[in-house]
Structure 1
């Protein structure tokens, strides 16, 4: 971002074409990260924007439904609930500390189900879901499968082709280590015809830079969803983050995080904390651990920890620890010491 700032200050708009070319490197790196083709990647300002590509792009009919989970982040609920105005029902399947009963999920679907939407990793419990199993249920009902990948993308391997994901969105400011306002959406090529573009603009069409010739001929790629000028600084920074993560190896990052959270879970349990994240099956674990300290206000605990230089979040009335690959044993010990020193 410092490079962009310097170029913007010294060169102004004359640097735009150079930025645009580098933007395509970001797109390519995003595609490589998830096993997609570059033409299937749209650069989006947020996960919410990516979700709305699907929610507002389908030709809904009264009586249709969308099936999702009851523990989703609001951004993966409100776009679907907003479809009630069109006579579309949102069905929420219950989970248990993030775990999905696949039979219940299948029972919630029927021949009017148009979309099954789920988060890869639950934001309030850290449960990592079986992506392909959910996709298979969606496709058994001829529904699209949308994956909110923000809490796992960049730190766990994902192949959208192998797991049969139809559409995906994730902002870059979480585990991808990028800035806010710069994320990605994946739209499987075969799904382009099923999603009418929203927010169409000059950048949606084939001859985007020919401003003197008006012809509504949409790009035959996911770039059709990029209607206007993009966040150049943010997306160039995201590209740098993707390059870093790729150089470290996603498998290596995943193993480091899982080792850290395994140790963190054991130490929190020894401290007397109640864990609200699945920890007994490694395939369900993530970089998130949600927990409670008995009889303690989580917001007060969080405030105390911040004063000790330890950052935790509060989600669903519980504390949330989120560990990336750069966290180490010293960080964990400092976290535990901050929690021990709290006097509620």
Structure 2
């Protein structure tokens, strides 16, 4: 899967991968996740395990740094900006120029919160069950006179009519998770997007629980800004992520953090000219996490090889199998299941008087990994998981 190019200048290792598709499919993807030989890992909505392609890509990059120092630095930048961003764009239906590399979801959310020009009296709409990353950056705007209007969740669901009811002429932005981390509720992005466009409200998505879990085509739905870390469903390294900025919305954001990479001055370090790079690349203020980005690229290539639609269908099949198995043993499913368009790869479940923390520890000791959220157990299988993992979980739950 990896190639080493021989160069005339005797630089033996280069950090570039063969752009041919990976020989990975649903039939064999489990083989490249070593953790599956020891554990039933059902916690991909938290931190996903590393695959051999991701590990190999990162090692290949670091081998180049070991042998050649910074000699290939210009080529790293060019390859990341062109080939890798193009593949990320292909996965989510975005243009290469609309993508910036970030450390995590929070960094992208903060870029929006701190980059917009706020006016006293503006308001932001937030669901009241958001992950903290999509809360604190907006709370900090109170000192500028910006109000948060909380959308009340109903049984873990965020309803379109409840969003609309809070909008007025001073509503500047709606920021919400595309998939809710605790309930697994999947937002109807098309409907939300149409509402925001009709009301002239900016739409900002925390998509870390969507990308890699559900297929996405941003060419079909208008989103102004979107952020997602790589370490969950994308199956990429910790410390990597993507910030998407719609080309039609980019001039609304002033990069809150600027540096050498914000501009395009090459090696002219003393030619000070704060003229932003075109496109979303202006939000990359300094040297990027290239080893992690190479690992992220391997993960993206794996998703493209499997295809996002096939991955979504596989995940849905496993979750359905889990829900049916759990219900047959008296477990109560908390995640929305009555509306097929609202279901995702996260499944929360509980029983009366359940000690969820104790159950999670017992399952971990039995080689089954899941999470506790809001007093319930939560699984998040990826496309490398299978029904055997669910059967192992059910066996470990026997007696609860």
Q: Is the TM value for this pair above 0.5?
A: yes
Could you tell me how far apart the structure 2 residues matched to 1:172 and 1:12 are?
26
Deviations 1:295-324 (A, max 9, x none): 121111101111011001111121110110
1:115 aligned partner: 173
User: Take 2:268 and 2:190, find their aligned partners in 1: how far apart are those partners?
Assistant: 42
Gaps of 5+ in 2: 1-57
Identify the residue that residue 5 of structure 1 maps to in structure 2. Answer: 62
1:159 & 1:98 partners in 2: Cα distance? 25
Q: Distance in 2 between matches of 1:149 and 1:202?
A: 28
Equivalences for 1:305-316 in 2 at 5 Å? 305-316=363-374
Residue 183 of structure 1 deviates from its aligned partner by 0.4
Distance 1:137 1:19 in 2: 41
Contact 2:321–2:387, Cα closer than 8 Å, also in 1:
no
Q: Secondary structure at the match of 2:97?
A: helix
More off after superposition, 124-133 vs 99-108: 99-108
TM-score by length of structure 1 reads 0.96
Q: CA RMSD in A?
A: 1.3
In the alignment, which residue of structure 2 is the partner of 1:61?
119
Give the structure 1 partner of residue 349 of structure 2: 291
Q: Choose the corresponding residue for 2:246, options 188, 193, 197.
A: 188
Alignment of 1:135-154 (within 5 A): 135-154=193-212
Between 212-221 and 21-30, the greater mean CA deviation after superposition: 21-30
Does residue 23 (structure 1) correspond to residue 80 (structure 2)? The answer is yes
Length, aligned pairs only: 342
**Paired residues of 1:132 and 1:165 also in contact (CA < 8 A):** no
Aligned to 1:89: 147
Cα drift, residue 206 of structure 1: 2.5
SS at match of 2:115: coil
Partners of 1:209 and 1:152 in 2: CA distance? 39
1:221 aligns with 2:279: yes
Does residue 239 (structure 1) correspond to residue 305 (structure 2)? The answer is: no
3-state SS of paired residue (1:139): helix
**What do residues 153-177 of structure 1 show as CA deviations (whole Å, max 9, x unaligned)?**
0232212231111110000011110
Q: Please, which of 35, 60, 71 is the counterpart of residue 14 of structure 1?
A: 71
Matching of residue 262 in structure 1 with residue 320 in structure 2: yes
Aligned residues of 1:128 and 1:283 also touching (Cα < 8 A): yes
Q: Is the 8 A contact 1:176 1:242 kept in 2?
A: yes
**Residue in 2 aligned with 1:38?**
96
| SS of alignment partner, residue 48 of structure 1 | helix
**Contact 1:202–1:208 (CA under 8 A) maintained in structure 2:** no
- Deviation sequence 1:70-129 (CA, Å, 0-9, x none): 111110111111111111011110122332221111010111011011111110001111
Does the residue aligned with 1:4 lie in a helix, a strand or coil? Answer: helix
Q: Which moved more, 1:104-113 or 1:277-286?
A: 277-286
Q: Which has the higher contact order (CA 8 A, sep 6+)?
A: 2
CA contact (8 A) 2:190 2:221 kept: yes
The CA deviation at 1:208 is 4.2
Distance 2:319 2:272 in 1: 55
Deviations 1:193-216 (A, max 9, x none): 111111100100132442131111
| Cα separation, 1, equivalents of 2:352 and 2:86 | 47
**CA distance 1:164–1:330, change in 2 (3 Å):** same
- Deviation for aligned residue 1:341: 4.6
Cα 1:245–1:292 shift into 2, 3 Å: same
Native 8 Å contact 1:33 1:154 kept in 2: no
Q: Which runs of 4+ in 1 moved over 3 A?
A: none
Q: Any idea what SS the aligned residue of 1:99 has?
A: coil
User: Is 1:179 aligned to 2:237, yes or no?
Assistant: yes
Q: How many angstroms apart in 2 are the aligned matches of 1:98 and 1:33?
A: 28
What is the distance in 2 between the residues matched to 1:202 and 1:267?
A: 54
